Homo-oligomer: A and B are copies of this chain.
Amino acid sequence: MKFTATQIAGILNGQIEGNADVSVSKLSKIEEGDNGSISFLANPKYTQYIYGTKASIVIVNKDLMLTAPVSATLIRVESAETAFAQLLEMYNQVKLNKVGISKQAFISDTAKIGDHIYAGEFAVIGENAVIGNNVKIYPQVYVGDNVVIGDNTTLFAGVKIYSETIIGKDCIIHSGTVIGSDGFRFNPQNDNQKIPQIGNVIIEDNVEIGANCAIDRATLGSTILRKGVKFDNLIHIAHNVEIGENSYLAACNVVAGSTKIGKNCMFSGQVGIVGHLEIADNTTITAQSGISKSILKKGEVQMGSPAFDANKYRKAYIHFRNLDSIVTRLNTLEKLNDLKKID
C-alpha cells in the first residue's frame, strides 16, 4: 500500500508543505524514519529531529515554527498526535482485514457461524459452537464444543478455547493463550484424586488478553473477566477467580483460586495473589508484590512480598538497605553501655 502526500493530506484534512507527490508505504518514529516512511511530530522535545529526519512525510501541528530548512514534506493539521493515531488505526484495520473461511479449516456441522467471519487454515470449531458476526479466527485456533464467541472478536493464531467458554463482543485474544483448562484441585482427603472441573470461563465484552496466558475454568460456576479487563502476556488465572471491570494486569501475574478482584485495579508485572481473597476497586499493586490478605479499602497502593502499604514499604526498605550501618550503630551503643556498666 502506497499513499502520496496529497492522498494523506486529503484523509487528514491537512495542508501540504513541500513535495505533494512523494509517496510512503510505512509508518516510523521521527528519529528513526527512513525514505518512504511517514512520521509525526507532536512532542516539542522531539522538534530537533525534524531537521534531520529521513522520513519522506512528517505530520506536524498547524502552528509549528521552523528555524531551519526541512527536507521532508510536511502535512500541517490541527493535532499531529490525533492525526497520526487516525493513520495508525487505518493502517491496522487494513493489515488485519482478513475475511473468509479457509477450505482447510474444520468447522463442525452443528456450529453456528455468523456473517463475514474469518476462519484460517487448520482452525477447529467444535460442536454447537456459536460464532458471532465479523469474528476473526486465525489459523490453528481451537474453539471447543459449546463455546460462544461474540461479534467482532479476534482470536489470533493458535489460541485454544476449551468447551463451554463464553466470550463477549469486541474482544482480542493473542496467540498461545489457553482459556478453560482445568482448575488445579485435588482432594487430599481422598488420595489426592482430581476434583472434576465442570464450570466454565466467561469473558465479557471489550476484553483483551495477551499471548500465552492460561485461564482456568471454574470447578463449578464460572471464572469471570468483566467488561474492559486488559491482560498482558503469560498471566495465570485460577478456577473461580473474578476480575472486575476495566482492571489491568501486567505480564506474569498469578491469581490463585476463588479470589475476587474489583474494578479499575492496576497490577504491575509478576504480582501474585493468593486464593480466596477480596481485592477492592482501584487497588494498585507494584511489581513482584505478593498479596496474602484481602484488601478491603478502595484505592490502596501495596508493595512487598507479603505486601503492605507501599509508602510504608518504601520507608522500611530504605532502612533495610542501611541495616549494616544500623547494626554498627547498635554495636557502638552496646560498647558504650557496657563500659558504663563496668564503671
Contact = CB atoms under 8 A, between A and B. Distances in A.
Interface of A: 27-29, 32, 85, 88-89, 91-92, 95, 102, 104, 106, 120-122, 124, 138-140, 142, 144, 156-158, 160, 162-163, 172, 174-178, 181-182, 184, 186, 192, 194-198, 208, 210-214, 216, 220-221, 228, 230, 232-234, 236, 238, 246, 248, 250-252, 254, 256, 268-270, 272, 274, 287-288, 290, 292, 305-306, 308, 312, 315-317, 319-324, 326-327, 329-330, 333-334, 336-337, 340-341
19 contacts: A28-B220, A85-B196, A88-B196, A104-B106, A140-B142, A140-B160, A142-B158, A158-B178, A172-B194, A184-B250, A192-B228, A194-B208, A211-B214, A234-B236, A256-B269, A287-B305, A326-B330, A329-B334, A333-B333
Secondary structure call for the A interface: loop
B186 A181 contact: no
B251 A251 contact: no
Given A236-B234, A333-B337, A124 B140 contact: yes
Copies assembled:
3
Contact of A124 (B91, B120, B306, B324): B120
A340 B329 CA distance: 16
Contact of A176 (B122, B160, B238): B160
Contacts of A320: 316, 320, 323
